[in-house]
Amino acid sequence: MSENPFELKEELFSSKTNTPSIKFCLYTVEDTVKELRTDINQGLGNSQDVLNRRSIHGVNELSNDEEESIVWKFIATFYEDPLILLLIGSAVISFWMGNVDDAISITLAIVIVVTVGFVQEYRSEKSLEALNKLVPAEAKLTRNGNTSHVLASTLVPGDLVHFVQGDRIPADIRLTDAVYLSIDESNLTGENEPVRKKVDPVIKTGNETPSITVRSSIAYMGTLVRDGHGSGIVVATGAKTEFGAVFEMMLEIEKPKTPLQQAMDKLGKDLSMFSFVVIGIICFIGVVQGRSWLDMFQISVSLAVAAIPEGLPIIVTVTLALGVLRMARRKAIVRRLPSVETLGSVNVICSDKTGTLTKNQMSVTKVWTSDYEGSFNSPFLIVEKLDDTNLHKEMTTNMRRTLEAGNICNNARYSHESDKFVGNASDIALVDCLQHFGLEDVRPTMERVYELPFSSKRKYMAVCVHQGDLNKAETVAKGATERVLELCSRYYDSDGLIKPITTEFKNLVHERSIMLANDGLRVLGFARHGSKIGPSDNEEKPTTYPNDLIFAGMVGMKDPPRPNVAKSIQLLMQGGVHVVMITGDSPTTAVHIAKQIGMPVVGPDSVMTGDQLDSLSEDLLSDAIHNVSVFARTTPEHKVTIVKALQRRGDIVAMTGDGVNDAPALKLADIGIAMGKNGTDVAKEAADMVLTDDDFSTILSAIEEGKGIFYNIQNFVTFQLSTSIAALTLIALATFFGLPNPLNAMQILWINILMDGPPAQSLGVEPVDHEVMKKPPRKRNDKILTEAVIKRVLQSAAMIIMGTIYIFIREMNDGEVTARDTTMTFTCFVFYDMFNALGCRHYTKSIFELGLTNQMFNFAVLGSLIGQFCAIYVPFFQSIFQTEALTLGDLVRLLFLTSSVFIADEVRKYILRRKNSMSYGTNYGYGV
């Protein structure tokens, strides 16, 4: 199936000639505002009007209304499984031959088995549906003059929305403002080249309807902003958008199974083939021995239902999905199930500094200009140590110019709803510090002529503004000090006069910049005046880039490390995970932060800059990267280089990112991790995991959950296989030696419910053992069924078989099988199953260490035991299962015998722990 749904539904677009986007792309901005009764600056102002519009146009979501009835889904499960059809056939034959009790019993068993399986599958589907709602689309909305982040589903036609580089367009929008705006429409049109957008209406030629690719004044729902920023009026929501036309086709795309699910499918098929062969032999020998062919048929089909682990892939899906939902509660949203498997293998984490390792709460702490004399111990104005009165007194002419430059070259917006500025953390810090110096935000008094947005390549941002007279427009720039200095030919000296830049002044700026960076501060340089910049005729580039500017000064900003990062890094390092910091800051700033959070920075080999990355070949970089803990002065493009170099060495890499340009690296990494708060929609789309709190410590929690899920799956596979092998072998041995069958069809089906039902599922949600973080990352190709796991399965199965056969033969002392004999054997097997499940909760830890922490397991086992007691004590169930009441002494004897499988596993765990304590560091006691 094509990845571009537009190619499949092209006729839909050609046939739809009255969509809102076609209509409004021809309208001017003024006509659009008038038609939709809104305001170009304030947005919609009446809450009742918003509700009325939503009642007319609906919620801004694309949903599948044709959901299949749950009743029909349940009915379908009866005829979709061939084994269930065989059981139904068996019940019909029994009824036809006059065995009404057998027919009723088998029918009841079919209903129970199908219901348990259906509940499992339905739970799996609902868990997966829940995952799709973990990362809801958001929009930046202005209503009644207040700007805030809202769910995109709340938008209505007429709303005023804003978007920046990396955002996903939340609805079909008629643009009212477009600054250097380019939008990637490939998911809608198939064209990979970003489309340049503008505010001017499309000129219609003749009677032809403007095609979707030429509506340059429209931003389509679901497309991605690749460059610049803009604003616009919502003209269509939900199914009325252009994307709504292809949504139906997208619903038909079936999601591929995860590698683990595929492995479980293969394991299930292999075991099924083996089971069918064994069951066929059992049935053949039984008939040859003269047993009733109907009895052997019923036993064989029941045995097939019990022995074939058809529920294995479903339980894996449920376990993965529930694990992902648990991660979401710990602020890590996994967008793709295969990522859960990869998490346990990650051995290198490449992390952004700002916002991930640090709080992303910038505050201006130091200011430097050439006219500030400083004190005897510092050439900087230390903002955080002075109150507002003193700051006002200390401010010099050049400081005012610097702070004003930071104010003008700024995109932070004030939100009345949250009563604070929102936007980039650096921009917010620059605006917030103005009040402490007695300055006001001057942007409302100015009009922007043009903006050159910040980019990782340029490392600076510039705007051209004027206060009413275009001839007096000036350019203001901010960015990395060395890049801003390159744009300058002059500077403001100690007297506030303009002087030509000298080598001596450049050296002084460089020296002061290093001093600020050594304190772990982000350093920004500011300049103003010089030539004007603006759009040229083709609007692709500014007429001139900033030049001949006047250097004003520098600001140092503090972004403190997150409180739990140091501990998280220490735990990751203990578990064999190498943590790497990647930042655009200077090496000195990066090293200062790295040491604060406990990263190993020893010698020059631990730090590498972007320039060094560019100078090394791929092979040399792979060799040199081994000891590097900090990459400084890097661009997002360098992240791709770093990931490739690490993967070439065989590392499993997790990479964090938040920007548009981070998307290639996030996609390339084994685990791409996007930031939920400050991350762009492009980054979230490319990532496998989203951190809703942007906190590095959350990655630790996610890896811990990922490892725990893998071992939980290993544990319930151990439980299922040991029970399945025991049931098959038990019937096979009885048949081969000419003994009566120790379990009847109904009893085997009940064992299947225990094996595939709540007890098995509860093992998949065992609380994560924190000790998993001390275990090194597992290899990507590690199998579920390792040699150690197989030995454990065979040990448990052997004990269940021997104990159950012992009870069966001991009870059958008169050579005839009575209801008591099968009841004792049946109950013995079920008790063995429960003790086996208890032992399977952990590979090495004793149940006495774990305690009763898994509530689902406690209730599952309790429910299973109650069900068993009903089967042997309630008359109705006695007739179905062909059982009779046992004495208290019988139950005590069975409990003593069946606990042997649990005791043997506890002894195995004790021996393994002793062995591992003598060779600590090899495998930490896990079954791998």
Enumerate the active-site residues.
352
| DSSP β-ladder status, 522-528 and 413-415 | unpaired
Helix axes 259-288, 293-307, angle to 10 degrees: 160
List CB contacts of 173: < 8 A, sequence separation 6 or more: 161, 218, 219, 232, 233, 234, 235
| Cα Dmax for the chain | 116
Q: How far is CA 750 from the centre of its chain?
A: 38
Q: What are 868's two structure tokens?
A: 């068993």
655-628-641 Cα angle (round to 5): 50
Q: What is the DSSP string of 847-871?
A: HHHH-S--HHHHHHHHHHHHHHHHH
| Pairing state between β 607-609 and 363-368 | unpaired
What amino acid occupies position 212? Answer: I
Which positions ≥6 away from 269 have C-beta within 8 Å? none
* Residue 403 near residue 434, CB atoms below 8 Å: yes
**Dihedral (C-alpha) 564, 570, 576, 579: value to the nearest 10 degrees?**
60
* Separation CA 696–CA 777 (nearest Å): 18
Q: 685: which strand partners?
A: none
Number of residues assigned to the chain = 928
Pairing between β-strand 607-609 and β-strand 630-632 as defined by DSSP bridges: parallel
Question: Alpha-carbon torsion 195, 487, 525, 535, what sign?
Answer: negative
Q: Residues near 113 by Cβ (< 8 Å), separated by ≥ 6?
A: 84, 87, 305, 749, 752, 753
**Whole-angstrom distance, CA of residue 458 vs CA of residue 239:** 40
458/470 Cα distance (integer angstroms):
26
Distance CA 133, CA 116 (A): 26
Classify 487 as helix, strand or coil.
coil
- How far apart (Å, rounded) are the C-alpha atoms in residues 82 and 156? 50
Q: How far apart are CA 378 and CA 558, in angstroms?
A: 17
| CA nearest neighbour of 234 among 141, 132, 352 | 141
What's phi and psi for 58, nearest 5 deg?
85, 180
Task: With beta carbons less than 8 A apart as the criterion, state whether 260 and 713 touch.
Answer: yes
